[in-house]
């Protein structure tokens, strides 16, 4: 599994503008204690711990006493007026979208920091308070943060103490020049720039991790289906290792559509990499034919065992699959288990690359597969519990080809398409825009249904819910939905 992605954020003047509430809290403190505090001056230099600011107004021996008084006032006066700074919510969302975690490390005491976050409903995983300057590095290290975002030169020091990338925003008391002079790696006017920067940073970091992982392997056989993931992995392997240390192997069986084999050959030719085919005999495995919820286990076991033997013959170090980080989080994936048990490697997953990142990197590299729809094997179309046979696979392939042809006659490009074999009848899943088109063109919809029936089914329907990856898993939980 990839190293967890953790990003740290400062609170005051990084995520929140707490100045209005802090000013009120200082004014109330002065009114109750008689201590004269210039609240405007105090809020102008937010950043250092409260004890440092309090020392400007009271005798040293009474600092702790008055800090406690101020903090007792804080929840009633300072929480409600605080406002999110522009881009704060979106920045936290960007980290979460990348499957990362967020930790707020602040000089403010933990309890009051948490009150701010809860009041504004900010989804933060961890809050650590009462830390300042380089001392923030201890919390950042403890939680594995690789990036720390703050508004103060002392936040830069905290990032550096943790060996983290220092990202600074100029929404606090420090200028861009001061932040750069302190050693900030990145300086932004505000957090509005953070999501785009972060997406790019994560992608480039993960691409570098992929290159490093492939170089560690030394040579690979790529299990190549011609889908977006395996195509990108193959291209990355060629870049990292050179053509002589890479071979693409496409498994040939009844479950592979003929069009995918042809696409695989064309793609490998563009890379100038060896493309081999290997016959797999998953149909000889009773668990595969039985088509239970664990069918993919037996298919992947056959694939990896065959490719491992071929890798040994070619004197290549490992068999690599195109499993990505999203796949590993998708829940029930017996095929991933089977591959791992047989020592197949997963460089995309190891680097933390998601499906979206694979597509974006593929687009940048000019790979024709960057926007290719997912194309799971034909056996995935057959409802669990119905035996997988060559004839069933063949009629599914015929039906999908027929649907594409009928829609192409009307100038429609088909993206995602599944003809689900439910036994005697079929269910056609298409992208929502095509479902809507068919709902408004009844004659053409009847032509599509007729084409599926002519392929060998007794009946067929177009699913009004449209294409859904893994739709057959729905039927595992609710068998009545077969009907």
As a whole number of angstroms, the distance between CA 358 and CA 225 comes to 15
Could you tell me if residue 144 is inside a domain? yes
Do 10 and 24 reside in the same domain of the chain? no
Could you tell me if residue 64 is inside a domain? yes
As a whole number of angstroms, the distance between CA 325 and CA 472 comes to 21
Whether the CB-CB separation of 281 and 251 falls below 8 Å is answered with no
Whether the CB-CB separation of 123 and 96 falls below 8 Å is answered with yes
> Could you read off the pLDDT tens digit of each residue along the chain, which spans 483 residues?
567 899 999 999 999 999 999 999 999 999 999 999 999 999 998 888 999 999 999 999 999 999 999 999 999 999 999 999 999 999 999 999 998 999 999 999 999 999 999 999 999 999 999 999 999 999 999 999 999 999 999 999 999 999 999 999 999 999 999 999 999 999 999 999 999 999 999 999 999 999 999 999 999 999 999 899 999 999 999 999 999 999 999 998 877 777 788 889 999 999 999 999 999 888 889 998 898 888 889 999 999 999 999 999 999 999 999 999 988 886 668 889 999 999 999 999 999 999 999 999 999 999 999 998 877 788 889 999 999 999 999 999 999 999 999 999 999 999 899 999 999 999 999 999 999 999 999 999 999 999 999 999 999 999 999 998 766 666 655 544 433
What is the token pair recorded at 222?
Answer: 């790529």
If DSSP codes are grouped into helix, strand and coil, which group holds residue 8?
strand
Whether the CB-CB separation of 82 and 43 falls below 8 Å is answered with no
Q: What CATH number is attached to the domain comprising 235?
A: 3.40.50.620
As a whole number of angstroms, the distance between CA 282 and CA 336 comes to 16
Residue 1 has what pLDDT?
Answer: 58
Do 357 and 473 reside in the same domain of the chain? no
Q: What CATH number is attached to the domain comprising 29?
A: 1.10.150
Number of CB atoms found within 10 A of residue 396's CB: 26
As a whole number of angstroms, the distance between CA 235 and CA 214 comes to 11
Do 243 and 382 reside in the same domain of the chain? no
Whether the CB-CB separation of 4 and 209 falls below 8 Å is answered with no
Do 429 and 455 reside in the same domain of the chain? yes
Cα 427 to Cα 64, 259, 412, 449: the distances in Å are 72, 22, 20, 9
Do 476 and 397 reside in the same domain of the chain? yes
Do 10 and 151 reside in the same domain of the chain? yes
Could you tell me if residue 370 is inside a domain? no
The total domain count for the chain is: 4
As a whole number of angstroms, the distance between CA 22 and CA 27 comes to 9
H-state helical runs in 120-193: 136-142, 153-161, 176-181
Q: Percent helix, strand, coil in the chain (nearest 5)?
A: 55, 15, 35
DSSP state of 275: E
Could you tell me if residue 121 is inside a domain? yes
Do 356 and 224 reside in the same domain of the chain? yes
Residue 260 has what pLDDT?
Answer: 80
If DSSP codes are grouped into helix, strand and coil, which group holds residue 170?
coil
394 alpha-carbon distance from chain centroid: 35
Do 321 and 355 reside in the same domain of the chain? yes
Whether the CB-CB separation of 131 and 138 falls below 8 Å is answered with yes
Task: Name the residue range of residue 118's domain.
Answer: 6-14+82-201
- Report the number of secondary-structure helices (H) and strands (E) in the chain: 22, 15
Residue 429 has what pLDDT?
Answer: 95
Residue 438 has what pLDDT?
Answer: 95
Could you tell me if residue 233 is inside a domain? yes
Q: Is the pTM of this model over 0.75?
A: yes
Do 143 and 90 reside in the same domain of the chain? yes
Do 168 and 307 reside in the same domain of the chain? no
- Give 448's contacts (C-beta < 8 A, 6+ positions apart): 403, 406, 407, 428, 438, 462
Number of CB atoms found within 10 A of residue 462's CB: 20
């Amino acid at each position: 599994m990839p190293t967890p992605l953790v990003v740290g954020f400062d609170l005051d003047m990084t995520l929140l503008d707490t100045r209005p509430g802090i000013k009120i809290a200082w004014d109330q403190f002065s009114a109750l204690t008689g201590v004269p505090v210039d609240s405007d001056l105090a809020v102008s230099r937010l950043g250092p711990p409260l004890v440092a600011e309090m020392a400007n107004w009271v005798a040293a021996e009474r600092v702790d006493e008055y800090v406690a008084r101020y903090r007792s006032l804080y929840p009633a006066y300072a929480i409600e007026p605080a406002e999110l700074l522009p881009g704060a919510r979106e920045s936290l969302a960007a980290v979460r979208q990348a499957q990362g975690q967020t930790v707020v490390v602040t000089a403010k005491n933990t309890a009051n920091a948490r009150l701010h976050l809860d009041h504004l409903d900010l989804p933060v995983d961890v809050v650590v308070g009462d830390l300042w300057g380089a001392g923030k590095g201890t919390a950042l290290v403890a939680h594995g943060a690789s990036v720390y975002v703050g508004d103060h030169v002392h936040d830069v020091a905290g990032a550096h103490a943790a060996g983290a990338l220092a990202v600074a925003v100029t929404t606090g008391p420090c200028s861009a020049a001061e932040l750069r002079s302190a050693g900030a790696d990145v300086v932004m006017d505000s957090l509005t720039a953070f999501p785009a920067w972060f997406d790019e940073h994560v992608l480039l970091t993960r691409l570098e991790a992929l290159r490093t992982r492939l170089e560690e392997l030394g040579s690979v056989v790529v299990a190549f289906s011609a889908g977006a993931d395996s195509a990108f992995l193959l291209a990355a392997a060629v870049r990292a290792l050179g053509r002589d240390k890479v071979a693409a192997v496409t498994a040939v069986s009844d479950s592979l559509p003929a069009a995918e084999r042809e696409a695989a050959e064309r793609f490998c030719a563009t890379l100038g990499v060896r493309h081999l085919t290997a016959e797999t005999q998953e149909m000889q495995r009773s668990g595969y034919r039985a088509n239970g919820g664990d069918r993919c286990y037996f298919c992947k076991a056959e694939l990896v065992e065959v490719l491992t033997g071929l890798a040994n013959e070619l004197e290549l170090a490992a068999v690599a699959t195109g499993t990505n980080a999203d796949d590993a989080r998708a829940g029930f994936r017996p095929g991933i288990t089977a591959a791992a048990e047989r020592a197949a490697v997963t460089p995309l997953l190891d680097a933390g690359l998601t499906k979206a990142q694979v597509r974006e990197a593929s687009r940048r590299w000019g790979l024709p597969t960057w926007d290719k729809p997912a194309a799971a094997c034909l056996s995935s179309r057959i409802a669990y519990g119905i035996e997988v046979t060559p004839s069933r696979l063949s009629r599914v392939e015929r039906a999908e080809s027929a649907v594409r042809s009928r829609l192409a006659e009307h100038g429609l490009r088909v993206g995602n398409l599944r003809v689900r074999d439910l036994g005697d009848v079929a269910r056609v899943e298409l992208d929502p825009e095509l479902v809507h088109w068919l709902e408004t063109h009844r004659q053409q919809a009847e032509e599509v249904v007729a084409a599926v029936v002519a392929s060998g089914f007794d009946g067929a329907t177009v699913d009004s819910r449209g294409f859904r990856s893994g739709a057959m898993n729905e039927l595992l939980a609710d068998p009545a939905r077969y009907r």
